[in-house]
Chain A
Amino acid sequence: MVASRAIGSLSRFSGLRILRSRGYICRNFTGSSALLTRTHVNYGVKGDVAVIRINSPNSKVNTLNKELQSEFIEVMNEIWASDQIRSAVLISSKPGCFVAGADINMLAACKTPQEAAQVSQEGQKMFEKLEKSTKPIVAAISGSCLGGGLELAISCQYRIAIKDRKTVLGVPEVLLGILPGAGGTQRLPKMVGVPAAFDMMLTGRSIRADRAKKMGLVDQLVEPLGPGLKPPEERTIEYLEEVAVSFAKGLADKKISSKRNKGLMEKLTSYAMTIPFVRQQIYKKVEEQVQKQTKGLYPAPLKIIDVVKTGIEQGNDAGYLAESQKFGELAMTKESKALMGLYHGQVLCKKNKFGAPQKEVKQLAILGAGLMGAGIAQVSVDKGLNTILKDATLAGLGRGQQQVFKGLNDKVKKKALTSFERDSIFSNLTGQLDYQNFEKADMVIEAVFEDLSLKHKVLKEVEAVIPDHCVFASNTSALPINEIAAVSKRPEKVIGMHYFSPVDKMQLLEIITTQKTSKDTTASAVAVGLKQGKVIVVVKDGPGFYTTRCLAPMMSEVIRILQEGVGPKKLDSLTTSFGFPVGAATLADEVGVDVAKHVAEDLGKAFGERFGGGSLELLQQMVAKGFLGRKSGKGFYIYQEGSKDKNLNSDMDSILAGLKLPARPEVSSDEDIQYRLVTRFVNEAVMCLQEGILATPAEGDIGAVFGLGFPPCLGGPFRFVDLYGAQKVVDRLRKYEAAYGKQFTPCQLLIDHANSPGKKRTPRGRQEVVGPRVKVGRRKESELWPAGRLPHPALHP
């Protein structure tokens, strides 16, 4: 039973979630604290309770770094030495953040596993002292309590948390390819039980305060306060402190026990865990599950299991030793470097580098209530944007409104929203068939069918009714924006906003600017995208922009490989085992074969040979037979409602047989097939940087991983070039070029890069990059990592 629970809790884990992390915050804090005494940690005494306040200077979040650690130790030593003080409260002075994590730069500075292990050991020592403190310490948690922050909190004797949505607890280290290295792997299982601890550490999920209370992660909850004689946030923290002080007194007086009453289930679970056989079974099952989901591509989850196991089976000392050693090893892996790179990239893509728009968008209008239109509406209304959803038919509109409602209602079922909040959010949506109130719109996003003449028609209709300042954004996956803008009276107000399906789950938004698009229009589009919770890459206009353009040559190679006789199932397994979340054949089915054909034709015309390789005929025949993928029930696979198993579509055999090409044995090993796909993708991505479609490699990585499902463990095409070696990529391309021709010719920028060793990073494109080491001190932490995740990467149909 315990085992099955552990598995159940793990079932949601997948490599795709690797990117949701906020445990480690990168801060370039360089100010020396030697001159100013105690800039990070201070304390005051209330009666016999010391109130320790954490407040990282010049930052919206608190991060555990060397300065903070040493000041904290000083403060604790004073408290332990004082006769007057009998207990302590640990609280943050910043509303919305307890401690957001350890400083990621402490790791970046490490050159060897031993150095990184040292970082872990220092944390372990400090927290061990806290754990053994004879004076009870109460952690008063308001806001994010993540990574090292949670490890700090669970070393205290008691935890009190604010019950609001900002207060989340978690150990997201796994998402950065490392493990909780300051005692977390050892303390968490004891505190919440092994299955729940595995769930937290292997998924990195954030846990809200009320759930944390149920799990035993916190001991008390404090309700947030409304306005009183001070601003609500300020008074709430004060109130939290007052409550925490009273509990600290109670603990010192032994009136309150820090021991928790366990429920029956918990008692049973902890009893079961005393049986070695049960434990072994759990480890085994969890390992199997992780192995299955990560395909062995991510080392961190397996090491976490290993370390937890060591602690339980061989005792604390061995556990802490294993934790620090494995932490050191993981910190030096390519995977953790790739994941940390993505983290930095994501931080970068959550900023509006175009500045604040002149006019904030308050009224949004969306044309077309299809899957995309309704999806865009959903992510807009739940952020408080007034949104008009217009469709041509009542049936289409109704379907779209239902989609929005269902999306919100699913959140109610998951208790992320109350039904009242759902209704209130849904009232931000106006469904209509005409252009009423478009004269008040600040932005119109069209999501009509991908047809240039139709897009022209709606653009003209809309421009007749919208005000001068209104931005016209086109949601298209491949139609060049300047062609759409050709009929516009005001091309400076026309921009591309390429959303990914399903919009409420996919984090990426690709914004496309033409030569004529004004900076303010771009700023406005980015601002709306950020409000919708998106990670944004801004690219220049061109056929296929960035994302579609990278995908197309890879899809062409997919066709080629299929033509050479590799079956869809085999192809899927080759791609997923390389780290793609969805197999290549399945991806075509998900995207829609007609869309793929459409894109392949358009881009084939634009780019010629480089997009060749596979025969377009395959897609054309599939479309002719109605094998459009999931949406028509048949593609490479057969899809049945309610059934998760999918069988091969046997009718494809004759099509494939008719187009069969001989395989080249010298480039047809499994590995070669994988690299043929990936190198074409990567080559095209670098080409986009070379041509200035992409502004920065960081955006290229984010776009590929978040929009197309490029393996997160590789960090994106540019990071991949760095970690794998530019020369090796070029060599591979040359080898395939020899076999197939120009579609594999490495682009100039890649060749240049390979020829200039020593350069750490792929050369930069047309704009100066803000660099991977971003100073992210002054940002709103909550904007950073919305609770979205990365499901099927798919272009919209």
Chain B
Amino acid sequence: MTSILTYTFKSLPSTSKWALRFSLRPLSCSSQLWAAPAVQTKSKKTLAKPNIRNIVVVDGVRIPFLLSGTSYKDLMPHDLARAALSGLLHRTNVPKEVVDYIIFGTVVQEVKTSNVAREAALGAGFSDKTPAHTVTMACISANQAMTTGVGLIASGQCDVIVAGGVELMSDVPIRHSRKMRKMMLDLNKAKTLGQRLSLISKFRLNFLSPELPAVAEFSTNETMGHSADRLAAAFAVSRLEQDEGLLSDVVPFKVPGKDTVTKDNGIRPSSLEQMAKLKPAFIKPYGTVTAANSSFLTDGASAMLIMAEEKALAMGYKPKAYLRDFVYVSQDPKDQLLLGPTYATPKVLEKAGLTMNDIDVFEFHEAFSGQILANFKAMDSDWFAQNYMGRKTKVGSLPLEKFNNWGGSLSLGHPFGATGCRLVMAAANRLRKEGGQYSLVAACAAGGQGHAMIVEAYPK
């Protein structure tokens, strides 16, 4: 995920869209077209379980996702999170004191606000009596924030949770080198002038070379784009396939000193010919992953209000969706770094007792076009299922007409810590607009991890 860091700046000028395959769906395309899926008999009418609390999403918001280095570039992460929280308060009118707990996901941490959830909550005017913590799990950090909240509600510890995520890639912590830090810390402790001078005498010019945030997987030293390129090659996804391959929860954000931002700015229209001219970004000179078919570095924040169903109803809310079964998976961080959805999808379906046919809405996180296509191929391969997943048969092919119809991370942007909430809100809103009972949300994350969750429509 962080790997994209280095290449964003290259991708900035190249405007592109993930064209043909998935997103040749004009925004104007009326939702009625999609609204009446063929009547299917579901394996289950609902995933409600006896003696377990139903957990609902009351509503969720996000501030516009912007290319990093644009309107949000002078802000700090908690500013974005604060904006999302304020938006949520405004949208839901939830009394601040009702919120039992606040959880935020983030990936690249601003060291000044390492518990960014708490700083943002205080700034957004939540009660200082409401505890808040921050979680991190790469691209599925916000998912982890939500499921942590689900756990707190299910176990009866809390009734009302605010979960969200934030990422500000316009600014990342660039540190002094370890040697320099060590010298500075030692200087702090030095008592006499002599000690200080002797420490300073050890200074070398190379101490000044800065340390950038890791762009590579820690365990394998490979950048994610590089891994995605190899993954695409492993599944024989061609450059053309990759190159072939949109908003109701957005709240406006008045950026101090700048205009109010109301829309995402990442969608990059481009032609196949233009995309084909781009040079490979990671494996040079013959790789297939380019700036156009990768998600770009993004600033953004999201937040959602999660409640026990009875509490929401008691407070007079009309919930948007149920949060149901979820799973986390992990696998080899080298060769299967980005195959999380492939592993998580069958697992969560089996857990919920559903089949692929029961799912009306698919919302998958797309890190790279090649990655998502590789996941499709992996799920559609008996060989892969038998040799790597311990399954007798393949997971199955995904119906593309139900897949990421409102755009995905490639077109909307991918603020690492905040994407999870966007996925779940898109799933909930699509279920309401397009009709249907169940949605499957899935995502991959650095470290070779993955997540999937079933979102169930709330009866209208």
A residues neighboring B (CB under 8 Å):
220, 223-232, 235, 239, 243, 246-247, 418, 420
Instruction: Contact check, B383 vs A226: say whether CB atoms are below 8 A apart.
Output: no
**Interface pick from B144-152, B215-223, B249-257:** B215-223
A227, B234: Cβ atoms closer than 8 Å:
yes
Contact B234 A228 (CB under 8 A): yes
The residue on B at minimum CB distance from A244 is B286
With a cutoff of 8 Å between Cβ atoms, the chain B residues found around residue A232 in the complex are 234, 335
Q: Say whether chain A's binding surface is mostly helix, strand, loop, or mixed.
A: loop
B231 near A226 (CB under 8 angstroms)? yes
Nearest-Cβ distance from residue A579 to partner chain B, whole angstroms: 43
Using CB atoms, name the residue of chain A closest to B334: A226
Complex Cα distance, B377 from A228, in Å, reads 8
**Size of B's binding interface in residues, CB under 8 A:** 26
Partner of A225, one of B221, B233, B378, B388: B233
Closest to A229 in B: B381
15 interchain pairs, CB-CB under 8 A:
A220-B286, A223-B229, A223-B283, A224-B230, A226-B230, A228-B233, A228-B378, A228-B384, A229-B235, A229-B383, A230-B383, A232-B234, A247-B286, A420-B218, A420-B221
Closest A residue, CB atoms, query B217: A420
* Smallest CB gap from B333: residue in A: A420
Among candidates A227, A229, A418, residue contacting B335 with C-beta atoms closer than 8 Å: A227
List the B side residues contacting A220 at CB < 8 Å: 286
Tell me whether B335 and A420 are in contact (CB under 8 A). Answer: no
Task: State whether A225 and B230 are in contact (beta carbons under 8 Å apart), knowing that A243-B286, A246-B286 are contacts in the complex.
Answer: yes
A228, A246, A247: which contacts B235 (Cβ < 8 A)? Answer: A228
Q: Which residues of B contact A228 (CB under 8 A)?
A: 231, 233-236, 374, 377-378, 384
Given B220, B229, B286, B336, which contacts A227 in the complex, CB threshold below 8 Å?
B336
Contacts of A223 in B (CB 8 A): 226, 229-230, 283
Q: How far is the CA of A780 from the CA of B388 in the complex (A)?
A: 24
Interface pairs A-B: 9 shortest CB-CB:
A226-B335, A228-B234, A225-B234, A228-B235, A420-B219, A239-B233, A229-B381, A223-B230, A225-B230
Residues on B lying within 8 angstroms of A by beta carbon are 218-221, 226, 229-231, 233-236, 283, 286, 332, 334-336, 374, 377-378, 381, 383-384, 387-388
B residues in contact with A227, CB < 8 Å: 234, 335-336, 384, 387-388
Once the chains are docked, how many angstroms separate the CA of A232 from the CA of B374? 14
Additional A-B contacts beyond A227-B388, A228-B233 (11; CB < 8 A): A223-B226, A225-B234, A225-B335, A226-B231, A227-B384, A228-B231, A228-B377, A229-B234, A229-B235, A229-B384, A235-B233
Q: How far is the CA of A243 from the CA of B286 in the complex (A)?
A: 7
Residues of A within 8 A of B377 (CB): 228-229
CB contacts (< 8 Å) of A418 on chain B: these are 220-221
Q: How far is the CB of B277 from chain A (nearest CB, A)?
A: 15
Residue of B nearest to A418 (CB): B221
> CA separation between A228 and B388, bound complex, in Å?
10
A239 to B238, CA, bound (A): 11
Chain B residue contacts of A246, Cβ below 8 A: 286
Contacts of B335 in A (CB 8 A): 225-227, 232
Inter-chain contacts of B336 with A (CB < 8 A): 226-227
Which B residues are CB-close (under 8 A) to A420? 218-221
**Contact partners of B286 in chain A: CB under 8 A:** 220, 243, 246-247
Nearest CB on A from B200, distance (A): 29
User: Within the assembled complex, what's the spacing in Å between the Cα atoms of A319 and B230?
Assistant: 43
> Most chain-B Cβ atoms within 10 A of its Cβ — which of A225, A243, A246?
A225
Closest to B286 in A: A243
Distance between A159 CB and nearest chain B CB, rounded to angstroms: 15
Distance from B382 Cβ to chain A, minimum over Cβ atoms (Å): 10
Cβ of A231: which chain B residues have Cβ within 8 Å of it? 387
Known interface pairs A420-B218, A420-B219, A420-B220; A226-B234 also in contact (CB < 8 Å): yes
Docked Cα-Cα span, A224 to B374, in Å, equals 16
Least Cβ–Cβ distance between A49 and chain B, in angstroms:
15
A284 to B332, CA, bound (A): 52
- With the chains together, A235 CA to B231 CA distance in Å? 11
Shortest A142–chain B CB gap in Å is 14
- Which residue of B226, B233, B334 has the most chain A CB atoms within 10 A of its CB atom? B233
What is the minimal beta-carbon distance from A678 to any residue of chain B, in angstroms?
A: 50
**Least CB distance, A272 to chain B, in whole angstroms:** 29
Q: How far, in angstroms, from A420 to B222 measured CA to CA in the complex?
A: 12
Cα A420 to Cα B383 with chains together (Å) = 30
Q: List, in ascending order, chain B residues with CB within 8 A of A235's CB.
A: 233-234, 236
Q: How far is the CA of A666 from the CA of B17 in the complex (A)?
A: 94
**Complex: chain B residue closest to A226, CB-CB:** B335
